Structure 1
Amino acid sequence: MKLKPHHFHFLFTNLLLLLYQIHHSQAQPSTYGYVCSPNTNTSGYPCQTYVFYRATSPDFLDLASIGDLFSVSRLSIAKPSNISNPSFSLLPGQGIFAPISCGCNPVQNKTLNFLSFANLTYTFKKDDTFYYVSTHHFGNLTTYQAVEVVNPTLVPEDLQIGSDAYFPIFCKCPNITQLQNSVNFLVSYVFQPGDSLDSVASKFGVTKQAIVDVNRANIGPFDTVFVPVAKLPHLNQPPGVAPVVGVVEKKENKGAVVGLGVGLGICVLLLVLVCGFWVYREAWFRRSMEEEGLKEQKLEKGGRKYMKEMEQNLLLADVSDTLDKYRVFEIDELRKATDGFHERCVVQGSVYKGFIEGKVYAIKKMKWNAYEELKILQKVNHGNLVRLEGFCIDPEDASCYLVYEYIENGSLYSWLHEHNRGNLKWKTRLRIAIDVANGLQYIHEHTTPQVVHKDVKSTNILLDSNMRGKIANFGLAKSGCNAITMHIVGTQGYIAPEYLADGVVSPKMDVFAFGVVLLELISGREAIDEEGRVLWMSARDVWEGTEEEKTRKLMRWVDESLLNESCSAESLMNMMGVAIACTNKDPSKRPSMVDVVYALCKGDDFFYEISSNDFSTSSLKAR
């Protein structure tokens, strides 16, 4: 993309950075990020931590825009940053603390295994580049080289407006020793040209040596350093600046006061007349109610209306801290978008396709109170999860609607088992498997408390225009794990044995269901056949015997459409091995999703040169 003149206002600082890199290249850390170990017993990953972010003109001078950038609410920034009013504007360079979820993530690179970062999704706008977004938007909290590593399929010189990319924000989690020494956070801080170790230590109330111990002695401008703190320091913020909207001149105020006085006088007169009419009407109506049954019916109707209003108000109160993150739609908007929820707009079940202001959405009508699902969705943000755009509460009956991004190519189930059967190439299937694994890893490792989806299946995996997988439908999701429930829900063929037998809810039940999805991708068979036989049981018969016997049986068992491709038996065996491990009857012997992502990514097929046509849907559409 071609740079515009407004991009060059930070040219001087970037020249300083370039000179520093030339003269101090030996002392620099890897521009790809910070290597980590996924061993949660010693490393402390994943964790909730903070970055120190500086407000940037002109795009990021308010908490709403910064919250959108980091996918958090305004309140979650205002509280730790000592900002009394989240609606106030910020001054350029004003420092704040933004919360992030830091994880030790596997990367699809042959020389790098795991890097420590918070995985944020960014949607490209006109003239954006990896470099510009990293330095200007995210304030050098990442580098364009790191962005290229975590987005191996994107071409930096050909970024499409509206497309998404992952931006890895550098972070670290305290290890077990640091936690025992009361280091609760390692705050990500970008070293400025005028900074020194002494000044940074003073800002955070720690010692210079404490910073050196966590980082290294040679720290230069625009390096990300990690400041060890027991608690966040108190930021002395300047007085807030009220938003420009609503500011008027004194002369206009005077006229407004006069007009307001006249208006109030008229309103009071009208109110008196309306109240008099209402009193007369009520008296006449009560006299006309001769039967006691009519009175009871009126009371019952009023009670139901009151209860519905209470339910609506309670739901709004429950999600009040995320109202700035999601759009609250009006019910009339949704009715217009779906032609009155007409059946021709139905996508699947109670999900409708609707157009609002020229943009297409998926509108889900809830059959129950949506509070639990909203509570889960407000905690998650990842490119492999279907994004919630907003919600609506119908004031008539307090029913709830969730408004999601619209995913163009429908469910994985339809591509494997219905009209598109056989059109999924092996590389596309592998890419989808890795996408879903990344999404599950995120909800298992990067949310606190962790989230269990509980309903992973091919119908809940949607494919976008680039055939990238996204996990949908968090209606059964559970926040927290290792719980016991007597109410067993889910889909036959995907339910883990320990959940079916004892009601044990844990991330390992998602791992089991994901293993079944892998078996669907390999075989083209459904999770349960017409005779009631489950796929994961029949797969275990394939995986018996010597390696040669396994390979021979697998080649007879795989989807016939894959036999016409050049996909290697080694790649098929690799995915089959992961699927068998995931569907182990003993949950303690199943791998974590971190291990699954790593195992799927290490296959050689994934590192072959992937052209943009490999994931094109133009040749895959049903005729």
Structure 2
Amino acid sequence: MKWVLFNIIILICFQISSIRSQQQYTANQVLNCKTKDEFLYTCTGHHHHHHLSCQSFLIFKSKPPFDSVTTIAALMSSNPQELARINHVTETAVFPIDKDVVIPVNCSCSDRYNYQAITTFLLSPLGKTYFIVANLTFQGLSTCSSLMHANRYSEFDLEDGFELKVPLRCACPTKDQVLSGTKYLLTYSIVFKDNVPDIARRFNVSVESVLKANGFSETDPTLFPFTTILIPLTEEPSISRRVIRPETSTVPSAKRSKSKKPLKVGVPVVCSLLVFLGVLVIYMRKGKKVQDSEEMSHSRKDLLVEIASFERIIKAFSFRELQKATKNFDHKRRIKGSVYRGEFGNQIVAVKKTGIDVSMQVNMLSKINHINLTKLYGFCMNQDSLYLVFEYMKMGSLRDWLRSGKRSKETHGFCKRVQIAMDVAHGLHYLHNFAKPMYVHNNINSSNILLDSKMRAKISNFSHARTTDHVRVLTTRIVGSRGYMAPEYVGNGSVNSKVDVYSFGVVMLELISGKDAVFIEGGQEVLLSTTMATIMDDGGNAEKELRCMIDLADEEDGSMEYAVQMMKLSLTCVKQDPESRPSMDEVVSSLVRIHVDLQRTVDRCSERIILTKSDPFNEINVCDDDEEGCNV
């Protein structure tokens, strides 16, 4: 009986070791310097752990001063002759900037638990933190936490000239991988816009083998910059056999290169633009024939699917470029808080200084593309700070606009406010239904809604965004703005699309009433959503009291009916029970009907249903921004 039990235990242990035959992708956890985990690949090879070593490979992008065979080989403690051979260059070769260079290393299980290839690095003024050494110098091929474990220096005591021991992330094939023909594992460092299918094609391997080697359960998982994945190879990697990563254009830039390289990007971009214009022309022609909102909604959904596939290009700016653009972050260029106005030639941008760990936000913004979401042009990492470069929104936040003293029918008319609500609704509808993966913004408020020069609204600040794919997520870290947070989020940390619906309902109440989400009444702070809901529950005089709360100019009496409809829609969005709230799809449909009816009623708004040149994705523009006197 004992022997039977012993054999069962041995069998279970064998099965467990088989389950661990793949390395788990650690996502952006590797960017956390405080963790106790080193985030090196665990020893799961088919030889005995104490003596396990193998030939492995890394991918490094050449950047000065590490842009030659000699300097890269010294940085990685790699054999320069082998490095030159596998990259088909001479030992004196200098690589172009951002060239993919294959680095051969000897990978071993030296500490009995983790694989690593060891190199050393002398600290310089350009790299005085473990985070910078791991993620900028070694491009994620090492980790901040593994550097802290491997060296005796405190993160606050690093000085020029200190020699650091640098564990590089590598791995040896497992028994199952060897049996399936894998001879080598290559460590690939993720950059913006990378995805598993493209990486697999680049190295001429199957998507399934890459997914299995990294423990992915999804077919197209989210990848984070400065992290690595393993590529199983049946033969040595060769530049001649790999598909080189396509060069990308940079935006914005004050100077245009005179070289022919941009043509490689220009041709597909022009083709995409022609296709887009073709779709737009067809859509505009169809729009003239559309008579009701439902037909327009179907057309919009079809077009949104096309838009969701458009790719974004994110640029890595140098700190010197940002200093020049902002005049060294002059206080006169400060917009608000840590946001500065920058200029790249004729292009105006907003430069925001932020915390170091925003990889998820940057990764998200590189994948989404919608007219009602602020665009991220690029980023810059300098010392312990990270800078994000966004499109410039001339009119500032919705909150500031609502609070501004110059209130008039031209600037604060109901027509204009309904358009703003439509813009925000479209942005959220895109995030909830068309982004891949789908997102919850999780911090909608009037300060995070920005207005451009044409008073079109765009959602900003995605630092608290979460991927949910319509599944509830629980969090213990409650963050947000008072007056906007849904009760289930405050109560138990539940995050799903209905949290955004609640916050959007509060924003609509602000638009209609002109009041803040939290305002003073009778010497006490009052929540706008609670006040409005209480009025609605009063019964007989509810609608009369609601009308008193609506902020309309005297000339806008014809809009009152639609303002009440919008108020009632807002109140359904802020219901206590999330299941009783509408989806953003339903909200958009309701706003479309209000738009259509308002257009037919208000004499001073254009009687034509048009498509704005700057935003072909919104079905209806009640107000034509190009015509004077359109606003009520």
Q: What is the TM-score when the length of structure 1 is the normalising length?
A: 0.50
